[in-house]
A and B are shown apart, each in its own frame.
Chain A
């Protein structure tokens, strides 16, 4: 069974740090790109960060650029999100999501999110 399990969430003070983990199983983790997506309480979904299968290509949402760092360890089938300088507006459920790659007629790659973990809750508050 394909599965993603997030961990590492919790309560942290503004300005603090937290490291989220996502453990993958049931598929060849090293062959897939991965994402972090978050959802603030009562709000919609917001893409946070992307990492390619090898880790060589990384993207961030403007809202977290310079504060968050995505990484992966393919030997451990794990994805990470290091979150520094946390703000109240970072309070959310954080999901890891597998990216499925499709090749368009223009030979570009396009990615949608086909498998999601159950999420881990991050609360930034004093």
Chain B
């Protein structure tokens, strides 16, 4: 199974900050990576697929980049509604589909 290492596990930031989260796959996954946002008590929400394609309705302050083994999610100007936990997921090699451990973005 492909392992996904996500970092950091948590970060503190202020509204307006630029935030970057990274995921590293244990082997190349081309661009078959998705990013999800999850708020407490809620279901995950798809933000980005194909490493860099924004899901419909997702604000443009979210962006994704990378291919192969290294990927990045960037929030360009953090808003109050962005405080949540973010997960990456590879869908290149299955089963199993595997997720990163998550990054909790907290208010500084």
| Interfacial residues, chain A to chain B (CB-CB below 8 A) | 35, 37, 44-47, 50, 59-62, 95, 100, 102, 104, 110-119
B62 close to chain A: CB less than 8 A: no
In the complex, the chain A residue whose C-beta lies closest to that of B33 is: A112
B95–A47 touching, CB < 8 Å: yes
B83-108 interface bits toward A, Cβ cutoff 8 Å, 1 = contact, 0 = none: 00001010110111111111000000
Given A44-B99, A45-B44, A114-B55 contact (CB < 8 Å): yes
Chain A residues near B19 (CB-CB < 8 A)? none
B45–A116 touching, CB < 8 Å: yes
A112–B89 touching, CB < 8 Å: yes
For the complex formed, measure the closest distance between the CB of A40 and the CB atoms of chain B, giving whole angstroms.
Answer: 12
A112–B94 touching, CB < 8 Å: no
B99–A45 touching, CB < 8 Å: yes
Q: Which of A59, A62, A110 has the most CB of B within 10 A?
A: A110
4 cross-chain pairs, A with B, having the tightest CB-CB distances, nearest first: A59-B95, A116-B43, A47-B97, A45-B99
- At the interface, is chain A mostly helix, strand, loop or mixed? strand
For the complex formed, measure the closest distance between the CB of B67 and the CB atoms of chain A, giving whole angstroms.
Answer: 13
Other A-B contacts than A45-B87, A95-B44, 7 sampled, CB-CB below 8 A, are: A37-B44, A44-B102, A46-B99, A47-B98, A61-B95, A61-B96, A113-B44
- Interface residue total, chain B, C-beta cutoff 8 A: 26
Report Cα–Cα, A110/B29, bound state, in Å.
11
For the complex formed, measure the closest distance between the CB of B30 and the CB atoms of chain A, giving whole angstroms.
Answer: 8
Q: Which of B95, B97, B99 has the most CB of A within 10 A?
A: B97
Chain A residues near B45 (CB-CB < 8 A)? 116
Chain B residues near A111 (CB-CB < 8 A)? 91, 94, 97
Chain A residues near B91 (CB-CB < 8 A)? 110-112
B32 in complex: contacting residue of A35, A59, A110, A119, CB < 8 Å: A110
B87–A112 touching, CB < 8 Å: no
Q: Which of A45, A59, A117 has the most CB of B within 10 A?
A: A45
Report Cα–Cα, A46/B32, bound state, in Å.
18
Chain B residues near A50 (CB-CB < 8 A)? 94-95, 97
B95–A116 touching, CB < 8 Å: no
